[in-house]
Amino acid sequence: MPLRIRDYGEAHLRTDDDLFYFLQCATVATPKEPAWGDRAAEEGYALDRFVEYLRYLERDEWFTIRPTSPVGTRWTGKVRQAGREWDIELVLKDAYPHIPPACRIPELMHYTDRKVDDGVLGLRICDMHMERNYWWDGHSSIAMYLKREVSYWVQSVVKDMRGKGWL
């Protein structure tokens, strides 16, 4: 069982929002550090809890995702919205978790300009609106990023596409 935030004991991380309570990771380690194994396990745990929450409480499992690299730095899967499905790719760079993951949804990105250059993926989804209300820190997880950035990005792009009659 990976270490949980309540065991870790950091006062500033406790919150009354139960969802985010269990989506955070206790270990802060980059993929090159020895403690990455613990962190990768915690990321998987947080994703499992998030999927359970979506499946049973919100009844809207809008994504499926699985790791494609043995160490868990590359993830691939599908996102669903409005009855349609698109591929998604997530990359955790060597500086992760000090920087957020980079996410690519190529088929949707084709129809919008809400994308920015990225050194590894070429283009990734734009999360610049998070700059002003910046919340990412070393304990934030892929699950939190999916919830707070990817979900809104997909919703807004699909809304734009519907408005233009492309969907």
Partner 1 sequence: MAVTERYARLRLFGHADLSRLAAKRVAIVGVGGLGALSAEILARLGVGELVLFDFDTVEEANLNRLVFRTDQVGQRKVEAIRDHLAAANPDVKITSHPHDVTDGPGLEALTAEVPRCDLVLGCVDTFAVRLFLNAKCVAWRVPFIDGGASEDGVNGSVHVVLPGKTACYRCNRPALSDESAMRPTKREDRGACHFTSLPTTMAVVASLQCQEALKVLLGFGKVAPFLQYFGLEGRLERVDWKRDPRCPACGRRR
Partner 2 sequence: MPVTLRFIFISDADKPTVSLKVPEDMLFQEAFVLAAKRQGKDAGILTATYPGGSPIAGGTVAEVADKSTNIHVIDPSIVG
- Listed residue (102, 119, 93) closest to 31, CA to CA: 93
- Listed residue (162, 145, 160, 163) closest to 63, CA to CA: 145
In the complex with partner 1, the residue whose CB is nearer, 64 or 156, is 156
Residue 131 binding partner 2, by CB under 8 A: yes
Residue 16 binding partner 2, by CB under 8 A: no
Residue 132 binding partner 2, by CB under 8 A: yes
Q: Say if residues 25 and 38 touch (Cβ distance below 8 Å).
A: no
Helix (H) or strand (E) run with residue 53 in it: none
- Interface with partner 1 in residues 120-159 (CB under 8 A): 120, 126, 128-129, 131-137, 147-148, 152-153, 155-156
- Listed residue (53, 51, 158) closest to 111, CA to CA: 158
- How far apart (Å, rounded) are the C-alpha atoms in residues 155 and 48? 22
Q: How far is the CB of 69 from partner 2 (least distance, A)?
A: 30
Residue 98 binding partner 1, by CB under 8 A: yes
Beta bridge partners of 125: 115
Q: How far is the CB of 135 from partner 2 (least distance, A)?
A: 6
The residues that touch partner 2, with contacts defined as CB under 8 A, are 131-135
The residues that touch partner 1, with contacts defined as CB under 8 A, are 12-13, 15-17, 20, 93-95, 98-100, 113-120, 126, 128-129, 131-137, 147-148, 152-153, 155-156
